[in-house]
Chains A and B, each alone.
Chain A
């Protein structure tokens, strides 16, 4: 029996793989499976059985598609490919991972670049990667290590000094945890200068002249002049240091020192609430700094541990909409959030609104279709009232393409038949759904002069005709019905009163109404003169 067959016919394998198949959303089982496969495939080298290689590769892929935020498994996978000599696969895995994080994963970049340093021979290609990384994670509070790598490669691979000094000069301005290291290097370089002409490594000739009165072409006695110039350069370095140190201390003491979880830990782990709070404040702080690339980056950082919380997805989308006026990006973030967050209501609602704003009703319809599918075409069964209600509202709006408020047939202009159908189906579930009366009063909130008859005929009378006792025995129902009538602008005051007292209340009397209080409250607010009539009707 070969190795592959041995592994897959082992009882342990079938047990673990069964667990994975049964609970694909449980990270532990995946980890077990991978550990089992890898530990039985050692040593990892080019001679690995092709079938085993494919099994491990697809396992990584499936696992990462279930858990796209497990940074370390991209690295694992890439190293696995690398060890087997599959360098282009290695690149692909890193690219795949980086894409998931919108290229804003410091961890992946550092690990990737370290490997690239080894395998990429073309300077141009290598530095392209560094430049991309610089763009996305260069302002990361912990990006000191990245900058070290970058500077080191520049020094090793570039003939000219300018690039090195430009990068180092830029790094000086970034509030980094390890900022002082770069100042030390900078000061050392100043110290190392032998000649006035070399001073243009620290700034442009014109600027040196203009701001520090340093003449790099100075022809006089150079020794004392150089000492003087170095002092001036150190002075500006010190000032810059003070500013950056101030920023670093602020960031560190207020936020970074209090954040402990910098990794993804799955949907089942509850993280300390204090970290949510700190991230929330940190993000507010970052937004006010007005460094958009840093804001993006910090949102992505917060999302790594808190991917299953809706708060940061919403905050990110809100920032994109309000601060950046970038509704399309917000939509993309919300779509990601919808798939990752455990709480989906608020994200979904904001997404719907965003899609309306973007005029993308086709996509909205698609989401609704998926939503309906997910409930086996019984959207009315959804437990959460808010989810149901958001669906109803946006569905009504979406189907308004054909409706107009100037339409003649009022009865059909308010709600499309299928929306009405869903509402009635939900109402028919009566006490098996909570918030049924909330649904009814929410519908009442939509009342206008033109849809009153629709609501009365299609909903309230329907409930009475269907004899749904859950409603008919509840004073709240009759109170809402009275209210609907009282706000019916097509009836005169006396018609309303008579309709309420003689039709609605007398009809209500036939049922064993459990709580009259809502009706009393209605009277108190709108018909105090009929309180006596109310009491008389329901007295017996």
Chain B
């Protein structure tokens, strides 16, 4: 990424942070993820959205498919916003407090921006946006644990970005025993977003 692109990205983040400093608000990535998941979830499914933030994706999926959608977030402000939107909210660390085999689908738009130590802020928005030095740290911890909570035939929908590496995420998912397919790509000025569908291997 060029310095110019870097600066533009920071500006966009600053602007977003100006509007809302405690809970990540729906953006292009949220819309893309919601669109893909709505097409692939059925009314009888039980769905978990990890890191639900404002609850936008979870409430869209629930409203448009009739599925039961639970939203979890580590951020208490996000849990409250999601609940106000009608989402069943649980304060949680990724998939830790959910039962084995509980979900037909698990959805995650992870914090994926590589951390810039100089700009690091120890607040909830930082938690929502950055995934450690590589941008993939939270995604990798998620991939380590998500298989446990998937029902037989279950699927994970995971958003990845060229800003932190799509191939690297797919490769790590493979190491965790998932087969991976890219189900949607969309290009934006400074990144391409990909929604990966992950199925546990046999």
Question: Do A and B bind?
Answer: no
- Give the interface of B toward A (CB within 8 A): none
